[in-house]
Amino acid sequence: MVFSFLKGQFIDVIEWTDDTRNTMVYRFERYGNSIMYGAKLTVREGQVAVFIHEGQLADIFGPGLYQLETNNMPLMTALQHWDHAFNSPFKSEIYFVNTRRFAGLKWGTQNPIMLRDPEFGPLRLRAFGSYAIRVGDAAPFMREIVGTDGDFTQDKVQGQIRNIVVQKVSKVLAASGIPALDMAANTRDLSNVVLEAIAPTLTEYGLEMPELYIENISLPPEVEKVLDQRTSMGIVGDLNKYTQFSAAQAMQKAAEGGGDGGMGAGLGAGMGMGMGMSMAQGMAQAMGQQGAAPAPAAGTAAPPPPPPPAAEAMWHIAENGQTRGPVPQSQLAGQITRETLVWTEGQSGWLKAGDVPALAALFASTPPPPPPPAG
């Protein structure tokens, strides 16, 4: 903290520079609170100077260089009711308010947020992130937050702002209706909704929140563990194949474990043979359940099971402006002619049966029309 002034009977230079990076308000200290009329006030970019006279907010000066005279201190003049030439000093408290952005402030939910998830049902979530604040209006900020604190830092308001953020985040997440697994893809939109919800409250304090980020939304550890197990099962796929694969790996490790010879080798080989026999028995039982197939000869591999029969095509028939079906292809003989309109799944539209290659066999042996009767 650095403040400069010329010492004498009265102060005639007022300014303040900040090197702490966390001071929001600093009260300019001087002897006897006396300020010479005509003194120079320097307000730098990112600051405003607030004059408090006899407990009342008198004037606010933005960035610039000022000479404290009647023409630029109308409110102060009205409060003082001076009827002389303003050659006398006046007494007033001067607060410098830092209006720059205070970024990188952290927030987080101390307790989990309870909500109803569309996929998992009742669920608890935690959320963490960061935000930035700045003073938008020095008058309500001095009245509502600072008071008479002459060295006000961001730490003194950070806890209160964090509570407001957590409250709004909890409400927005609970009412969003977004599944927990999709929230990570919607953090930007959720952050904007929270910012809009917070703005009116901060305005009452003279503060603004130019940015807020929801950086992480997480499930409780026990829920994450169950979710990881569910994900693992999805990756594994067929449980029977996974069991066989695991048994084969265990058999290989058991055989490798007895690589030193002697009893270890015999034990490893015995375990490997036992596991191999168990796998063979399990596979034989599975094949037996599909059908009592004859056992293959010794030393030969079991033949693969036959493929399932192909599904029979089903046809719809159009006659006299009406449709009927579906009719299996094996039952179409005698029900249709070459001119009958037919349709099946995958066909672009109704076609004459005689123009459908799949039905050509139905008309291969059809006799020609009978000859006309003898006259």
3-state SS assignment for residue 218:
strand
What percent of the chain stands above pLDDT 70?
69
Chain centroid to Cα 49, Å, comes to 42
d(CA 6, CA 35): 11
Least confidently predicted of 104-108, 180-184, 224-228, 253-257: 253-257
Tokens of 353: 């049966």
Task: Check whether 79 has a pLDDT greater than 50.
Answer: no
Per-residue pLDDT, averaged over 339-368, amounts to 79
> Which pLDDT score, from 0 to 100, does residue 59 have?
87
Least Cα distance to 102 among 247, 207, 17, 203 occurs for 207
What helix, strand, coil percent values describe the chain, rounded to 5?
A: 40, 30, 35
Per-residue pLDDT, averaged over 127-150, amounts to 91
Give the model confidence (pLDDT) of 184-211 as tens digits.
889 999 999 999 999 999 999 999 999 9
Q: Where are the domains of the chain?
A: 11-98, 102-223, 314-363
Least Cα distance to 97 among 157, 37, 164 occurs for 157
Task: Check whether 106 has a pLDDT greater than 90.
Answer: yes
Least confidently predicted of 72-81, 131-140, 240-249: 72-81
d(CA 176, CA 186): 10
Task: Check whether 273 has a pLDDT greater than 80.
Answer: no
Q: How would you label 213-236 residue by residue, b for 16+ Cβ within 10 Å and e otherwise? A: bbeebbbeeebeeeeeeeeeeeee
pTM for the complete prediction? Answer: 0.55
Contacts of 155 (CB under 8 A, 6+ apart): 22
d(CA 50, CA 123): 49
CATH class assigned to 102-223: alpha beta
3-state SS assignment for residue 158:
helix
Q: Which CATH number fits domain 314-363: 1.25.40, 3.10.50, 3.30.1490, 3.30.479?
A: 3.30.1490
197 φ, ψ (degrees, to nearest 5): -75, -30
